[in-house]
Amino acid sequence: METKRTRTVCTGCHQRCGAVVYAEGNRIVRIEGDPDSPYSKGAFCGSGITQRFIHEDAKRVAKPLRRAGARGEGKWEEIGWDEALDLLESNTKRIREEYGPEAIVVSQGTSRTSNDWGQRLKATIGNKGWGLSPLHVCLIPNIMPHALTLGAGQMQGADVANAKTIVLWGISAVSILSEIKDIQKNRDENGAKVIVIDPRYSDLAKDADLFLQIRPGSDGALALGLMNVIIREKLYDVDFIDKWTYGFDELAEMVSEWTPEKTSQVTWIPAEQIVAAARMMGGEKPTTLYPMLGPSCMHTNAVQSGRALTCLTGLLGPVDVPGGFMYIPGAGPATNPELTLIPPDWDFNKPEAKLIGSEKFPAFAAFGNANVPYDTFEAVITQKPWPIKMMVLVANDALNCYEAPQKTAEALKSPNLEFIAVKDFYLTPTAQLADLVLPSSDWSERDTIDEEMFRGRIISSPRAVDPPGECWDDWKFYLEWGKRLDPELWPWADEREMVLWRIKLYHGIDLTWDEYVERAYIDTPASLSAAEFKKYETGKLRPDGQPGFMTPSGRIEFFCPTMQAFGYEPLPVYHEPKESPYSTPEVAKDYPLILTTGFRLYSFFHSAWTNVPGQRELYPHPFVVMNPADAQDADIVDGDWVEISSPRGAIMAKAEVSREVGQGVVALPRPGWRSGCEELGLPGYDWQDVCINNLIPGGGDSTDPGFGTAPMRSTLCAIRKMEG
C-alpha cells in the first residue's frame, strides 16, 4: 500500500511541535518530528507519538450520544449530528428566550486551536468573552502583571537562545521541551548561565548553575529580595531606569527592608544563594526571566508576585534587546473584534457584561474576560445572581480541572441545569453527567490551523488521516452550531474556508488551501516584528506611534496606579499565602506540610490520556512526592499508599519518597488517572478518590483578592499511611 506523508503540527500540548505523519490508508504507521519547524527543530515527544494509538482506539466516542437513562446512569443512545444539532439549537433558543443569553455558559479548557471561534459562538448567543475557563489559574494572573508593569501584550518574551543569564522560574522541562535545545546550545557555545527557581529539584534544576529551592508561594518575596541586592550593589542600568521607568525611588525604598536575611527566612532559600543569584542576574546581562505557572499563577498572592517578577525584569533592563524580554506586537491571544464579535472598547466590568464574579474580582473580569469558575458553579446551585440553565463544555473536564470539585459536581448534578453538552474524546467524568456527548477529532485528523497564543507565526495544520466515525473537530462544531443560530454570522462552507478567511483577517495574507499546506511555516508581520529591537524608542509599541511602552505613563511602571483601581497596592507588596505555617499556625498544627499541586509530567495532558499505554507505562499510579524526613516521621516508605488530607477533603496516592522536594513540602502531579488502561491492566480512579483539587479551597476569601485565583500551589496538608 502507498504511504502518504503529511507535514502537520502536534497540538498535544502548547509546544506545537512540527510533525510528519506517515499513513497507509487511514492508518497511521509512523510519526516523526519535523526538522524544518522553526520552533521544535525536529524534537518530538513520546506523548505526541502515541497519537497513533488515540487515532485507532475503538473505545473513543465516535458518534454523538444522547442520554437514555437518568443523568449519570451511563445509558446512551447513538444519534446523528443533525439530531445532535437540533437538540443544541432548540435548547439554546428556548433557554435564551426564557432566561436571557447569560443563562447559557459555554466552557473551554486550556488553550486549544479554536479559542476565538468559541468566542464568536458565545457572542452569537449573546455573551461576550470566554464564558468559563481555568483562566484564573492558567497564566492570565501572569499576563496581567506583564501588561501593567511592562506594557506587554504577551507573557512569553524570554529569548533563551541569546540571553547571557536565563532564569527558569517555576517552569518545567515538560512545557518547554522544544526550547531546551536552544538553552543547551546557548550554554555550550556562549557560556550562558542558568538559574532555576522551583520547590522541586526538577529536570531543569539538574542542569542549572544555580538552583534555588523556594518555599511554595513565596516567589514575590524572593523577587523583592533580589531587587534589594541589585539596587544596593548598583547592578542596574541607571540611564535606562531614569529614562524609561516610573516609580524607581518608591520601589527602592520598599525593597530596602528585604535584606537577604529576611528574604531567606520567608523563602527558605539560604541568604548567600539569594545574593549569588542577584549578582548573576545583574552581572551577566542580558538576563531573561522565564516564569510560568509556578511563581504567580496559583497562589493567593498571585498577581502581586507577578508584579514583583515583572518589576525585576524592568530593573534588569534594557528590555526588547536580543537575549532579553522581547516584545512581539500582535502576538497576544486571538482577539480580533471582527472574528470574536467583541467590540474593541467593550468593558467586561460593567454590569451589562453579565460576568459572574466581576464585582468581587474586577481584575479577573478585565483580564480574564470570563465568569469566575467557583462562583459560576455556585450560581448554578443558587440561581443567583441570575439563573444558569445550560452548559456546553468543550475540551474541559470540569471535574478534574477546577478547585473544589465537590462544588462543580453539585452544580453539574443539579436539576437547575436543564441541558448539558460535553465535547470530548472519551466519556470523561464530566461527560458522564451530560445530556449530550459530542465526538471530537484530534490533531492528526483535522484541517485547521495552529492558534497558539504567543508566537504570531502561521503554522499550517492539515489532516493526515480522517477522523474515526463521526468525530468532528471543534471548528466544525462551532461553525455548524453557529449556522443554526445565525447563518449570516457563520457564512463559511467548512473549516478550510474558515482557516483562509482568518489568515487574511489577522495577517492580511491571501492564500489558497494548497499554498497554506505547502508553505507550512509562514512569517507574518507580527512574527517579523519580533526581530526588531528597542521598539519603545521608535514608537512601535504604541498605537499613537509615540516612543515609550504601552502603559499609562509610557514607562515601565514599578509604581502602578492602575493596580489601585483593582484593589491592590501600587507597589508589589508581598503577602504571605492565606494558608501557610505563618499565616494560619492553627491550621498548620493538624496540616503541617506545604502542598503544591499540578506539576506536569512527560506523559498526559491534564487529565487526558491515562488510558494510553505508551503514556501510562511511565506513571502507572497516582503518586505524591515527599521528603524522606517527612516520610520517616509518618512511618511511610516509598511505594506505600498514603492519604493526603487538607481541611477540604482527602485523596490517595502512592508515596514517592525523594529529596526532590525539601522537608515540609509535598508535591502532587497534575493528572487525575481517571481512565483505566486495559492493555497494561491498570485501573482508572474516581475523581473523588484521587483528584488533587479535592484538597484546594474555592470561593469565599480563599483566593487572590482581585483575581479569584485558587491556591493550587500553596496550601497545607497532612499525610498518613493507609491501612492494609
Ligand X SMILES: Nc1nc2c(c(=O)[nH]1)N[C@H]1C(S)=C(S)[C@@H](COP(=O)(O)OP(=O)(O)OC[C@H]3O[C@@H](n4cnc5c(=O)[nH]c(N)nc54)[C@H](O)[C@@H]3O)O[C@H]1N2
Instruction: Give me the 288-327 binding string for Mo ion, x by CB under 5 A, dash otherwise.
Output: ----------------------------------------
Candidate list 127, 371, 376, 596; residue touching ligand X; CB under 6 A: 596
Residue 10: which of Mo ion, ligand SF4, ligand X, none does it interact with, CB under 5 to 8 A by kind?
ligand SF4
Cell digits for 150?
511592562
Residue that the C-alpha cell 557555545 belongs to: 189
User: Is position 10 an interface residue for ligand SF4 (rule: CB under 6 A)?
Assistant: yes
Instruction: Reduce the DSSP state of residue 26 to 3 states and report it.
Output: coil
Indicate the residue type of 91. N
Q: C-beta of 10: minimal distance to Mo ion in Å?
A: 17
CA distance 262 to 202: 26
Instruction: Give me the 100-119 binding string for Mo ion, x by CB under 5 A, dash otherwise.
Output: ----------x---------
What DSSP letter does each residue of 463-499 carry, written as one string?
A: -SSPPSTT-B-HHHHHHHHHHHH-GGG---SSHHHHH
Candidate list 293, 302, 655, 657; residue touching ligand X; CB under 6 A: 293
Strands 641-646 and 715-721: antiparallel
Candidate list 7, 136, 200, 578; residue touching ligand X; CB under 6 A: 200
Q: C-beta of 600: minimal distance to ligand SF4 in Å?
A: 10
- Strand partners for 6: 21
User: Is position 606 an interface residue for ligand X (rule: CB under 6 A)?
Assistant: yes
Cell digits for 120?
464568536
Candidate list 325, 506, 605, 707; residue touching ligand X; CB under 6 A: 605
What DSSP letter does each residue of 448-464 carry, written as one string?
A: EE---TT---EEEE--S
Segment near ligand X (CB under 6 A); pick from 246-254, 421-429, 497-505, 646-654: 421-429
* Sites for ligand SF4 among residues 139-178 (CB under 6 A): 177
Strands 165-169 and 390-394: unpaired
Cell digits for 81?
449530528
CA distance 625 to 257: 35
CA distance 689 to 206: 33
Q: With contact defined as beta carbons under 8 Å apart, do 572 and 295 qualify?
A: no
Q: C-beta of 12: minimal distance to ligand SF4 in Å?
A: 3
Residues touching ligand X, count (CB under 6 A): 58
557 vs 660, beta carbon nearer ligand X? 660
Candidate list 10, 13, 235, 657; residue touching ligand X; CB under 6 A: 13
SS (H, E, C) 517-555: HHHCEECCHHHHHCCCCCHHHHCCCCCCCCCCCCCCCCC
Residues touching ligand SF4, count (CB under 6 A): 11
User: Is position 12 an interface residue for ligand SF4 (rule: CB under 6 A)?
Assistant: yes
241 vs 281, beta carbon nearer ligand X? 281
User: Is position 118 an interface residue for ligand X (rule: CB under 6 A)?
Assistant: no
Indicate the residue type of 703. T
Q: With contact defined as beta carbons under 8 Å apart, do 350 and 344 qualify?
A: no
Q: C-beta of 123: minimal distance to Mo ion in Å?
A: 24
CA distance 529 to 669: 38
User: Is position 713 an interface residue for ligand X (rule: CB under 6 A)?
Assistant: yes
* Sites for ligand SF4 among residues 24-53 (CB under 6 A): 44-45, 47-48
Which helix (H) or strand (E) covers residue 148, if one does? helix 140-150
378 vs 442, beta carbon nearer ligand X? 442
- Strand partners for 697: none
Instruction: Reduce the DSSP state of residue 565 to 3 states and report it.
Output: helix
Residue that the C-alpha cell 525539601 belongs to: 662
User: Is position 423 an interface residue for ligand X (rule: CB under 6 A)?
Assistant: yes
15 vs 645, beta carbon nearer ligand SF4? 15
* Sites for Mo ion among residues 115-144 (CB under 5 A): 138
Segment near ligand X (CB under 6 A); pick from 251-259, 448-456, 534-542, 604-612: 604-612
* Sites for ligand X among residues 166-195 (CB under 6 A): 169-172, 174-175
User: Is position 136 an interface residue for ligand X (rule: CB under 6 A)?
Assistant: no
Burial 517-531 (b: 16+ CB within 10 A, else e): beebbbbbebbebbe
Q: With contact defined as beta carbons under 8 Å apart, do 520 and 8 qualify?
A: no
* Sites for ligand SF4 among residues 176-195 (CB under 6 A): 177
Candidate list 325, 374, 481, 604; residue touching ligand X; CB under 6 A: 604
User: Is position 14 an interface residue for ligand X (rule: CB under 6 A)?
Assistant: yes
167 vs 401, beta carbon nearer Mo ion? 401
Q: How far apart are the first and last CA of the chain?
A: 55
For the chain, the maximum distance between any two Cα atoms, rounded to a whole number of angstroms, is: 73
Which positions touch ligand X (CB under 6 A)? 13-14, 109-110, 112, 134, 137-139, 169-172, 174-175, 197-200, 202, 214, 216-217, 219, 292-295, 394-397, 400-401, 423-425, 428, 440, 474, 596-600, 604-608, 667, 670, 692-693, 696, 712-714
Which positions touch Mo ion (CB under 5 A)? 110, 138
Which positions touch ligand SF4 (CB under 6 A)? 10, 12-13, 15-17, 44-45, 47-48, 177
